[in-house]
Structure 1
Amino acid sequence: MIAAAAALALLAAYPASASSRKSTYISWHTNGTPAIRADLSVTWLDNDEVNDMDLTVRDYKCDDRGGYATLSLQIRTGFGDTGNTGTIGSRLNSGGCGSTVTQRDRSYGTSWYTADVSQIYSAKLTLCINGGSCYYQFIDNPYNDDPASSNG
């Protein structure tokens, strides 16, 4: 009976960490009207693991100014190096006139991908317009324990 009470007290002292769902978007307009939009949602699990990453591109106009979106992660390796992972998944091209294209359920974490990553600072959403510029937004990792790495 005492052992069971001690086990319950131990569980209460170390609750399981909750996941944290975050989202951002970039909307590009022509003549005040939305033309193309990229949305990103991620679920942070820990300082080095993220899953359920959903990337969507919507092309609202029937013109030749489509674009594409990419998702990358800003990381620190176990060797102290910082940088980006590169694109997670493939480049997501807009489908043209009134289309919506989505990649769902991308995951990244040290548990299965690479043992070199010790910290994921943020997820980076990039939207590039054909024949134009690229724009980006970050979703900071709420479990990040390194304040010097903040994007904002």
Structure 2
Amino acid sequence: MRRAGFVVAAAATLTLGMTGTGRAVTNASADITASWGDRVRLAYTWTDRHTIRNGTLTVTDTTCDDRAVYATLTITTGDGRTVPLGDRHNTGGCGTSAEYHDITAADAGGITRLTLTICHGAGGTCEARYVGANPYRLDSLPS
């Protein structure tokens, strides 16, 4: 039975801490389920208008359908370019998760958003289920 995909939780919250430079950082997260049932969780930090860091991505195979599940991350830069951050695969099969702690991105012209797409099967179905907008407006902050 196919389950409808929903964003279970997507949030951006201002942290209580500050960076070493005295600037506030914004933590963001997404917990999404694809329409076919596999799941992806993403947590990361916007440090300023140029940088994403401290990202953790968990890709979970919940459907047990013999199709590998993976997530694709891209950023959109201040000048409109789409830059891939790569695919993160879970090939472990039914009921397994693969966790990645390497989610970072930076662009001198700024980053306007991060997009998370979940896919399954070789060259299979994909759904862009999360778009996280940079909380640091590119047009109002100094370089």
Fold conserved (TM > 0.5)? yes
Equivalents in 2 of 1:38, 1:49: separation in Å? Answer: 22
Q: Secondary structure at the match of 1:19?
A: strand
| Runs (5+) with no aligned partner, structure 1 | 1-14, 111-116, 148-152
C-alpha distance after superposition, 1:37-70 (max 9, x if no partner)? 0111110000001101111101113222332101
Q: In structure 2, which of residues 48, 51, 55 is the aligned counterpart of residue 49 of structure 1?
A: 51
Other-structure match for 1:12? none
User: Higher relative CO (CA 8 A, sep ≥ 6), structure 1 or 2?
Assistant: 1
Q: In structure 2, which of residues 134, 138, 141 is the aligned counterpart of residue 141 of structure 1?
A: 134
Other-structure match for 1:9? none
Question: Quick check: which has more Rg, 1 or 2?
Answer: 1
Alignment of 1:1-152 (within 5 A): 16-30=22-36, 35-76=37-78, 81-86=79-84, 88=85, 90-94=86-90, 95-110=92-107, 117-130=108-121, 132-136=124-128, 137-146=130-139
Other-structure match for 2:11? none
- Shift of the alpha carbon at 1:139? 1.0
Which structure 1 residue ranges, 4+ long, deviate > 6 Å from structure 2? none
| Runs (5+) with no aligned partner, structure 2 | 1-20
- Shift of the alpha carbon at 1:29? 4.4
Instruction: Report sequence identity in percent.
Output: 32
- Shift of the alpha carbon at 1:129? 2.1
TM-score (norm 1): 0.67
User: Which structure: greater strand fraction?
Assistant: 2
